[in-house]
Amino acid sequence: MTVPWDPRLESWLTRYPALRAIGQTPLVPVPLFRDELPEVEVFAKMESLNPGGSLKDRPVLRMLLGALDDGRLRRGQTVLDSSSGNAGIAYAMIGRLLGLPVEIVIPDNASAERKKRMRAHGARLIVTDALLGYDEALREVGRRAKSDPEKYFHCDQYSNDDNWRAHYETTAEEILEQTGGRLTHVVAGVGTGGTITGLGRRLKEHDARIRIISVLPEAFPGVEGLKPLGRPEDIVPAILDQSVIDEFVPVSVDDSYTMCRRLAESGFFVGQSSGAYLAGVEKIARRERQGRFVTLFNDLGERYFSTRLWD
């Protein structure tokens, strides 16, 4: 399987060849519902196999190399963004490899494991009050970026088009190659909006009949990495293209946790958002009784040992 990045990034990938380890993850069958729903096939992209341990390696690579290539990001600047954890790890890891200092604004309810990984790569963390919602981290990033625009490059994964392009160019292309273009549903969610926008745009170009489903988590305590989008005060990501989403499926934290534990008993060890995605798959599959579903396992369960997920 060979899915290239944007050709403009080739010189950077040649200079930093370790970055070529990002992407080209396997698509594996998930047989959890096979006996009850024999006409349903479910496959998951194993994004935890990226070197940073999550799906977020893809967009962060695309955003940082794109910004270096066109001059928006200059040597000596500090990369600044908000993250619930996985993007922060990708920024810290890739930033260190590229020789860029990184500051991440993160809610205080993010798992300790993810904070430790970011700090291990040398990132500086600014912690916000989780009771004020994840959007408080977004607001704090905005305040810092405006206070010193020469110091900071605000990568802004919520409005950076290179975010969704990473999934349009690589994740979606890999899915098409791995399925032979034969799929009926994709189930994902909205964090920054990059994954579902990139996948939705490319896959609907291939076949407009493919249904793009977004899980919709409850507002609090929430599922790490996913936005609820259910309240008037929720900040809707600028890059989110809601026109590609055919349906929103409500998923609770308990739904997510229960599915993570079921998956663990079946040999898959995944984090909260992955459990939420597969809970969404199950709801649609039980309703429709047939189909070829693709979802993503964004990261591993190890990142949540300090949460109540595995209590």
Closest of 133, 163, 146 to residue 59, by C-alpha = 163
Which residue has 């860029």 as its token pair? Answer: 100
Given the residues 45, 56, 115, 227, select the one marked as catalytic. 56
Sorted by sequence, the CB contacts under 8 Å of residue 174 that are 6+ apart come out as: 1, 3, 23, 24, 25, 27, 45
Q: What is the DSSP letter of 157?
A: T
Dist. CA 251–CA 223, nearest whole Å: 9
* Cβ(311)–Cβ(260) below 8 Å: no
Buried b (16+ CB within 10 A) or exposed e, 203-234: bbeeeeebbbbbbbbbeeebbbbbbbbeeeee
Dist. CA 291–CA 310, nearest whole Å: 31
Closest of 157, 189, 183, 164 to residue 87, by C-alpha = 157
* Cβ(18)–Cβ(3) below 8 Å: no
Q: What is the DSSP letter of 61?
A: H
Dist. CA 130–CA 132, nearest whole Å: 5
* Cβ(281)–Cβ(186) below 8 Å: no
* Cβ(279)–Cβ(255) below 8 Å: yes
Taking residue 188's Cβ as centre, other Cβ atoms within 10 Å add up to 29
Annotated active-site residue 56? The verdict is: yes
Dist. CA 19–CA 5, nearest whole Å: 11
Q: What is the DSSP letter of 49?
A: G
Residues catalogued as catalytic: 56
